[in-house]
Amino acid sequence: RTNWRLQGLLGIGYALSSLFWVRPPDLLADGGNGLVALRLEDGRMLITPGKKDPITREAWKRRLAAQDDPEPIVDGAGNGLLRCDGLSCLALLKGVPVVLALRPEALLEDCANAQLIVANFAVPKDVCANAQRIDRWARTKNGAHALWFQDGKIERLETVHGQRLAHPWEVAK
């Protein structure tokens, strides 16, 4: 009943305006099934083909704010953004060269060109020393990954493990 209640409108207005500042991630990698999604600048979503996980796919579609159904990650997808052979796929996302390695044999050639390697298998540290790696061990240790790119660099990387809150019943790590 007092004028204090009007100050609550300022908080509500700020909270609603923050919706316009949120930017969805440019790449998502799950914690174990090998599912990877790329968000293109036009809002479309590319996702790993053949992986059956409808719940994760739908959640990622909402998280990436994709307007249409996701396209599969195959050669030429994203209006030619992806270049794939039988061993890997290469994409340039906001100036960041990203390699989706399908087989270990791809690493010898692709590590030289990539700033980020996403693989479903373990990537030896000495093979891709100059690239950020999201491999089987990183996924097992840290869970799902979300990455934001800007001006040819990885601007931000978040993982499920890094976002967990401390609960009283959990043992500290």
DSSP tag of 105: G
Q: Residue 84's closest CA among 94, 72, 92, 76?
A: 76
Q: What percent of the chain has pLDDT over 90?
A: 23
Which stretch of 55-69, 70-84, 104-118 has the lowest confidence by average pLDDT? 55-69
Of residues 82 and 172, more confidently modeled = 82
- Confidence band, pLDDT 50/70/90 cuts, at residue 92: very high
Of residues 19 and 166, more confidently modeled = 19
Of residues 76 and 127, more confidently modeled = 76
126-132: average pLDDT: 83
Report strand pairing: 132-134 vs 116-119: parallel
Strand partners for 87: none
Of residues 115 and 69, more confidently modeled = 115
Which contiguous run of DSSP H or E holds residue 84?
A: strand 83-84
Of residues 171 and 89, more confidently modeled = 89
Q: Give the other-Cβ count within 10 Å of 160's Cβ.
A: 14
Residues 6+ apart with CB under 8 A from 86: 102, 103
d(CA 33, CA 120): 8
pLDDT recorded at residue 96: 93
d(CA 32, CA 143): 7
* Cα separation values, 9 from 13, 17, 69, Å: 6, 12, 37
- Confidence band, pLDDT 50/70/90 cuts, at residue 166: low
Burial 111-146, CB ≥16 within 10 A → b, else e: beebbbbbbbeebeeeebeebbbbbeebbeebbbbb
d(CA 129, CA 101): 15
Q: Are the C-beta atoms of 37 and 60 separated by less than 8 Å?
A: yes
Q: What percent of the chain has pLDDT over 70?
A: 88
128-155: average pLDDT: 90
For residue 119, pLDDT beyond 70: yes
Question: In the predicted model, what is the mean pLDDT of the chain?
Answer: 83
d(CA 98, CA 91): 5
Q: What is the pLDDT of residues 34-50, one digit of tens each?
A: 889 998 888 888 888 87
